Structure 1
Amino acid sequence: MHVRPVPQTSTPAPADAISGSAWVTSLAVPEGPSRTRVDRVQFAPGARTRWHRHPLGQVLVITDGTGYVQRRGGPAQLVRPGDTVRVAAGEWHWHGATDTSAMTHLAIEEIPGDGGETEIGDPVAGGEPAPVPAEPVTRTLVLEQRLPAPRLVDLVEVRRITIAPGYGAGLHVHNGPVFGSIETGSAVYQIEGEPETLLRPGDVFHEPEATRIARFDAREDGVTFLAQFPVGPGETPRLDLIEEEGR
């Protein structure tokens, strides 16, 4: 038995296999007699695979967000966390996020011993059957954050903030809690003393009040996000930069 920590890095999905932005984290690769591969795939809103098929089929386990799956000749189906999709061997299909929600799934497949590979087909065209939600309104809880103490709030500011590629906010604190949602790009987020987190489109975050935020650094693609600042009577949302020791 071997326990492998969840990798902290992922790679962009191949551009010839995906329309839009998606990232792949390899969780298990074939070893010894086992031919099983397990990947975690994170789709940005609107991203989807091209039509494709696997020699021995595939199993998808939806872990986060909302998306669609469709086999050729059948209707597109809405999938949510906990849903499992079994794709038959050689079955043409596609899967991806909805236009408004990111989606993450585990992809589990058996790799043929003869080296056969996944066959990639055409992009999903606009003329394909339109995915129709099973329900007219869907609601997904993306963040539930309890504050350390009751707080009187009489104003909430919502700002759209863009940070240029490679630029960081610097060590800072806020005078109130901040709740955010990544729209485009990506950023490395870290509360001082805690592990770093890579934020991508659809991810949400919470910066606690009066807590030192060590990193909110845009990566090479920059980052744009919505930030909500709830404050009390007479307060104005404020970010205070902290001069690091030794500088």
Structure 2
Amino acid sequence: MHVRRVPATSTAAPAEAVTGSAWITSLAVPEGPSRTRVDRVQFAPGARTRWHRHPLGQVLVVTEGTGYVQRRGGPAQLIRPGDTVRVAAGEWHWHGATDTTPMTHLAIEELPADGTPTELGDPAGEGEPAAVPAFTRTLLVDQQLAAPRVIDHVEIRRITIAPGEHLGPHVHNGPVFGSIETGSAVYQIEGEPETVLTPGDVFHEPESARIARFDPEGDGVTFLAYFPVGPGETPTLTMLDS
């Protein structure tokens, strides 16, 4: 076993492979019988690869930001943190950031034993249009409430919980919907499995349900909380005994 520290500096992606600015940090290189290479690639807004294909395919894991990936003949697809893209061997494709946000992903690739390199094609948008949608609309949650409610307004709060703080078991007097902005948290409704929420994830805390955990991880967590409120109601959180 060998622990290799992440390099402090990155290398600019080759101009012949990328349109715009991108940086590559080598995380793992082939050693011994292993032919696996792992790179972290950071795209500036608007940066994208050329059309290209890998002899043995590739796996992308988005870690930050928002971007697109497209295979030849298919539509461009929006990708967000936590998404995994498996590119087939020899499949023409491109990937990169949206025009307004940066994007970082891990690129995991097995290198062929005969040294066959990645084949580069036209810049995305040439030869075959890179059909990046100008407008996207994605349904994130469609939640049936436990009982009909009269709602006359919605409160939206930005909530930050510092690293090491634990909210503890609690209940809300009404339904709560949330969306993680930064950081991460371990979330659990009592009696259900734990899940880790990361930026872009949404969650629902049912009215009067016992929330066993909403504990930030090492980087803390900031999220937007949406409280549908009835006439004369005030959103209330009640702490419970452990």
TM-score (normalizing by structure 1)? 0.58
User: Residues 178 and 136 from structure 1, CA distance in 2 versus in 1: closer, same or farther, beyond 3 angstroms?
Assistant: same
> 8 Å contact 2:190–2:211 — kept in the other structure?
yes
Q: Tell me what 1:191 maps to.
A: 189
Q: How much does 1:169 deviate?
A: 1.2
The equivalent residue for 2:135 is 137
Please name the residue that 1:67 is paired with: 67
Deviations 1:13-37 (A, max 9, x none): 99969x89xxxxxxxxxxxxxx9x9
Quote the sequence identity (%): 56
What is the total number of aligned residue pairs between the two structures?
Answer: 192
- CA change 1:136–1:112 in 2 (3 A) is closer
Q: Does 1:114 align with 2:113?
A: yes
Corresponding residue for 1:149? 147
Find out whether 1:56 has 2:36 as its counterpart: no
Cα RMSD for the two superposed structures: 5.1
Could you list the runs of 5+ residues in structure 2 that have no partner in the other structure?
1-5, 12-21, 24-33, 37-41, 80-84, 119-123
Distance 1:234 1:134, change over 3 A: same
Change over 3 Å in CA distance of 1:148–1:117 after alignment to 2 = farther
Match of 2:238 in 1: 240
In structure 1, stretches of 5+ residues that fail to align are: 1-12, 21-34, 38-42, 120-127
Structure 1 residues 50 and 162: CA distance shift in structure 2, 3 A: farther
Q: Which amino acid aligns with 1:57?
A: G
Distance 1:54 1:134, change over 3 A: closer
2:210 match: 212
Report the alpha carbon displacement of residue 137 of structure 1 after superposing the two structures with TM: 2.2
Give the secondary-structure state (helix, strand or coil) at the position aligned to 2:234.
Answer: coil
Secondary structure of 1:168's counterpart equals: coil
Specify which of 217, 220, 223 is matched with residue 222 of structure 1.
220
CA distance in 2, matches of 1:170, 1:117: 55
Structure 1's 54 and 133: CA in aligned 2 closer, same or farther, altered over 3 A? closer
1:161-212 Cα distance to aligned partner (Å, 9 max, x none)? 0110121211000000000000001000000111100000000000000000
Distance 1:239 1:177 in 2: 11
Per-residue deviation, 1:231: 1.4
The one-letter amino acid paired with 1:218 is P
Q: Tell me which structure has the larger Cα radius of gyration.
A: 2
**Aligned residue for 1:3?**
none
Out of 155, 160, 163, the residue aligned to residue 161 of structure 2 is 163
Which of 175, 200, 209 lines up with 1:202 in the alignment?
200
What's 2:90 paired with? 88
CA contact (8 A) 1:180 1:204 kept: yes
Deviations 1:53-75 (A, max 9, x none): 7452337799xx9731379xx9x
- 1:36-87, Cα deviation, whole Å (9 max, x unpaired): x9xxxxx9xx7x998997452337799xx9731379xx9xx73158x98557
